[in-house]
């Protein structure tokens, strides 16, 4: 299931629960899979200096980001016995409570997917040039930094 060229990982706006549900449904024909694991990143309504985050506006250095997602994908397939892997990240505005990152890994057995998912999500946070503008309810903003 390796791909030679980077795919576009980005989706405009929030990732819907319908889309996530349909992705799970599509894997029911792949009966060599025994375990799925899913990470969903959700926009948090952080309170900072008395102001509440109402949304995050995502931008990215898209060409480099898609290449990095591709590298992470290749490295994960190399490291873990995965049957398949899907990554989607939002661009544009995602409101508090909505999903901005969807990572979906599948394997014949469970132990692999626990390890693989953590590896992939941490690599995304550290290496992919995505930028997040936290918009407050009063329309002011600050820039998010991954910890």
Query: In the complex, which residues of this chain contact other proteins (CB under 8 A)?
Result: 41, 56, 58-61, 63-65, 67, 89, 100-101, 121, 124-133, 143-146
Cα–Cα distances in angstroms (integers) from residue 86 to residues 20, 23, 55, 134, in the given order: 11, 9, 24, 26
Coil, helix or strand at residue 103: strand
Task: Choose between 86 and 133: whose C-beta lies nearer to other proteins.
Answer: 133
CB of 27 to other proteins, least distance (A): 23
Task: Choose between 83 and 90: whose C-beta lies nearer to other proteins.
Answer: 90
Task: Choose between 36 and 89: whose C-beta lies nearer to other proteins.
Answer: 89
Cα–Cα distances in angstroms (integers) from residue 46 to residues 99, 122, 133, 136, 146, in the given order: 15, 21, 13, 9, 14
Cα–Cα distances in angstroms (integers) from residue 138 to residues 23, 51, 52, 54, 96, in the given order: 36, 8, 9, 9, 14
Question: In this structure, are strands 130-136 and 51-60 parallel, antiparallel, or unpaired?
Answer: antiparallel
CB of 22 to other proteins, least distance (A): 22
Task: Choose between 29 and 147: whose C-beta lies nearer to other proteins.
Answer: 147
CB of 135 to other proteins, least distance (A): 13
Question: In this structure, are strands 35-42 and 84-95 parallel, antiparallel, or unpaired?
Answer: unpaired
Structure tokens at 134: 């936290």
Task: Choose between 132 and 136: whose C-beta lies nearer to other proteins.
Answer: 132
CB of 71 to other proteins, least distance (A): 11
CB of 89 to other proteins, least distance (A): 6
């Amino acid at each position: 299931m390796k791909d030679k060229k980077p795919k576009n990982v980005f989706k405009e706006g929030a990732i819907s629960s319908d889309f996530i549900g349909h992705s799970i449904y599509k894997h029911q024909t792949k009966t060599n899979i025994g375990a799925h694991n899913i990470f969903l990143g959700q926009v948090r309504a952080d309170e900072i200096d008395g102001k509440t985050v109402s949304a995050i506006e995502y931008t990215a250095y898209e060409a480099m980001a898609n290449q990095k997602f591709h590298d992470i994908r290749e490295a994960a397939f190399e490291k873990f016995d995965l049957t398949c892997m899907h990554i989607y990240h939002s661009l544009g505005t995602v409101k508090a409570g909505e999903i901005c990152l969807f990572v979906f890994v599948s394997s014949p057995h469970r132990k692999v997917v626990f390890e693989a998912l953590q590896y992939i999500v941490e690599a995304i946070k550290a290496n992919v040039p995505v930028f997040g503008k936290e918009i407050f309810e009063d329309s002011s903003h600050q820039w998010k930094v991954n910890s």
